[in-house]
Amino acid sequence: MHPALWGAAAAVVLVLAVRGYTLVRADPLGHLAQEDRLLIKEPVRRRRRKSPFTAFGQWLGPEISGLMGDGYSRFITKRLMYAQADQFPTAADFFAMKARLLLIFGLGGVAVFMMAQNLWLSLLLVVLGFFLPDLALQSAGRKRQETIEGDLPDFLDVLSVTVSAGLSFRGALQRVIERTEGPLADEMRLTMRHLDVGTSRYDAFRELKERTRSQAMEAFVTSLMQAEELGSPLVESLEQIATDIRQKRAQRARQQASKASPKIAAVVTLVMVPGTLVLMLVSIYYTADIDLGAMFGDSW
């Protein structure tokens, strides 16, 4: 074939490739006006292909939930409410994750048994994979509750200042929530939505106390309800609650510090002291150039 024809064919292929790439990257609705584009619904997104582990988890998750019983399912549902973890939005996702990890660690346990012939280690690996989501859920819930308890005193200080400025409690609470982020603000927003749909203040804040499981939040809700029933000044009640929460948090920190002292002493006694003695003896041996053969005979 003539070289010119080869060049023409290559040019045609290049032009078609560029044109195809342009069409793929182009917006199919680009020629429409903005008003017409608003009338068209958003196209349905393509579903991602599920991995075998995800499909297995979704298939076996409900079976595990039924096998564990209703009591365990209610316990997990309450834990999910406390944690609000992104990796476990619902109880179905939690049990699906448990099933996936059971499969993964089960395969690992089979591999360990085939290589090491250790049945107990294989079973321990399977049990660890089964209860690993429970540990992750408990850790997430504890961290979230600690965050709520730590943010509550500052939140109450700002709320008391806002109430003292002349706003009602509900208006002040809404104003503070709009300028606050974090788990505490999320719980307060949910409480405000309950109030907006007609829930009484007592029921809304009682549900808030049940969702958080925090001693500081329980003290806040109890004092708030008492102030409303007895008619005591709300600003003074909020300031007193914040002060009490800070005092309890400082007392808890001192208790944790006092518990840490014996642990540190145990570590020093069991690890550092023997290590220091060994280091001293070895240093004396090499420094003094002691002849152990002369001391203990040729048998040494």
pLDDT at position 293: 58
Considering only residues 210 and 295, tell me which one the structure prediction assigns the higher pLDDT.
210
pLDDT at position 44: 47
Cα–Cα nearest to 170, from 193, 151, 152: 193
Q: Would the pLDDT of 294 be above 50?
A: yes
Contact assessment for residue 245 and residue 216, using Cβ atoms and an 8 Å cutoff: yes
**How many other CB atoms sit within 10 Å of the CB of residue 52?**
9
pLDDT at position 33: 58
Which residues in the chain are classed under CATH 1.20.81?
147-250
| Mean pLDDT score of the chain | 77
Dihedral of CA atoms 6, 12, 18, 20 in degrees, nearest 10, equals -130
pLDDT at position 40: 56
pLDDT at position 31: 58
**Averaging pLDDT over each range in 6-15, 175-184, 245-254, which range is the top one?**
175-184
pTM exceeds cut of 0.85: no
pLDDT at position 292: 56
Cα–Cα nearest to 175, from 145, 201, 185, 203: 185
Q: What is the mean pLDDT of residues 292-296?
A: 56
**Helices marked H in 26-90:** 34-38, 52-68, 70-83
Q: Would the pLDDT of 289 be above 80?
A: no
Q: What is the pLDDT of residues 219-240, one digit of tens each?
A: 788 878 877 777 767 777 778 8
Q: Would the pLDDT of 21 be above 70?
A: no
Q: Would the pLDDT of 280 be above 50?
A: yes
Q: What is the mean pLDDT of residues 191-209?
A: 86
Q: What is the pLDDT of residues 44-94, one digit of tens each?
A: 445 556 677 778 778 888 888 888 888 888 888 888 888 887 777 888 888
Out of 1-10, 22-31, 167-176, pick the least confident.
Answer: 1-10
Pick the CATH number of 147-250 from 2.60.40, 3.30.450, 1.25.40, 1.20.81: 1.20.81
